[in-house]
């Protein structure tokens, strides 16, 4: 704003609209439930059309007004916000709609970021690059929405939450239990302070401990979410097997 630049605002995150209401040069974008009409000319609308297992989206092409459908290789509803941002930036910079589509569809996540990997007969949703309350919840919702006969959630501490840490970890433990995974494993000292037994969860002090447990379970034909902050190194759970 100091340099008279434009601010891209995701209106689906209410606090962002409040934080930027004084800015004059704003590009708004948001999740929409329908692309049947142009709608609000001042807001770029993007529609979530699927998430099991990969995020699918659609938007109206500025050049033709036709609906452009996108099938990404991104797992987890929280990645829909990233898709919306990419679409908004592309439209603002007048990137042809088919190039926006191609860029999003050819991107393959790596480095433990929202990867879907095979581990024997199991499918693992590996998101061990970072974790915070706003990404934990949609990852757990995605686990519930994805097809699978048996579902296991392995969640590591969300680091650097400061004074709110216990409150946020307790809230995530409670939310995770409501998603009804067959097994809920919490990892790290912060999750250890929660009332995890009340939520039907098991707890491990660190990644080495949960890996030892995981290796002994012999999970087969299961859908497994592994998510935690980078410092937890939860990707080690499935290494060396």
What are the tens digits of pLDDT across the range 219-237?
999 999 999 999 999 999 9
How distant is the alpha carbon of residue 220 from its chain centre? 24
18 pLDDT exceeds 70?
no
The DSSP call for residue 134 is: H
Rounded Cα–Cα distance for residues 35 and 194 (Å): 43
The DSSP call for residue 172 is: H
pLDDT at 8: 83
Query: Of 27-41, 60-74, 185-199, which range is least confident?
Result: 27-41
Question: Helix or strand or coil: residue 17?
Answer: helix
Q: Which residues, at least 6 apart from 97, have a Cβ–Cβ distance to it below 8 Å?
A: 59, 61, 62, 63, 64, 66, 68, 90
Rounded Cα–Cα distance for residues 179 and 174 (Å): 9
Q: Cβ(153)–Cβ(178) under 8 Å? A: no
Rounded Cα–Cα distance for residues 47 and 80 (Å): 9
pLDDT at 175: 98
Q: Assign 122 a pLDDT band (cuts: 50, 70, 90).
A: very high
CB atoms within 10 A of CB 192: 15
The DSSP call for residue 113 is: S
pLDDT tens digits, one per residue of 42-85: 789 999 999 877 899 999 987 677 899 999 988 878 789 899 99
What's the sign of the alpha-carbon dihedral 119, 122, 127, 128? negative
pLDDT at 112: 66
Rounded Cα–Cα distance for residues 60 and 44 (Å): 9
pLDDT at 146: 86
pLDDT at 124: 94
pLDDT at 153: 98
205 pLDDT exceeds 90?
yes
Question: Helix or strand or coil: residue 207?
Answer: helix
Two tokens, residue 2:
């100091």
Q: Cβ(212)–Cβ(179) under 8 Å? A: no
């Amino acid at each position: 704003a100091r340099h008279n630049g434009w601010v891209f605002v995701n209106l689906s995150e209410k606090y962002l609209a409040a934080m930027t209401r004084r800015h004059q040069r704003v590009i708004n974008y948001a999740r929409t439930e329908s692309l049947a009409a142009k709608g609000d000319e001042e807001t770029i609308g993007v529609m979530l059309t699927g998430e099991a297992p990969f995020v699918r989206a659609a938007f109206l092409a500025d050049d033709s007004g036709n609906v452009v459908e996108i099938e990404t290789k991104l797992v987890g509803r929280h990645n829909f916000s990233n898709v919306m941002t990419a679409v908004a930036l592309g439209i603002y910079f007048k990137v042809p709609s088919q190039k926006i589509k191609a860029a999003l569809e050819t991107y393959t996540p790596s480095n433990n970021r929202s990867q879907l990997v095979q581990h024997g007969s199991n499918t693992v949703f590996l998101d061990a690059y970072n974790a915070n309350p706003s990404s934990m919840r949609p990852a757990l919702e995605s686990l519930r929405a994805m097809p699978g006969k048996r579902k296991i959630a392995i969640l590591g501490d969300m680091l650097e939450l400061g004074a709110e840490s216990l409150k946020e970890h307790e809230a995530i433990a409670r939310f995770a239990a409501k998603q009804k995974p067959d097994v809920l494993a919490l990892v790290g000292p912060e999750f250890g302070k929660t009332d995890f037994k009340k939520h039907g969860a098991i707890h491990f002090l660190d990644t080495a401990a949960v890996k030892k447990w995981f290796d002994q379970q012999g999970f087969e034909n299961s859908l497994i979410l592994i998510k935690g902050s980078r410092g937890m190194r939860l990707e080690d759970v499935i290494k060396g097997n």
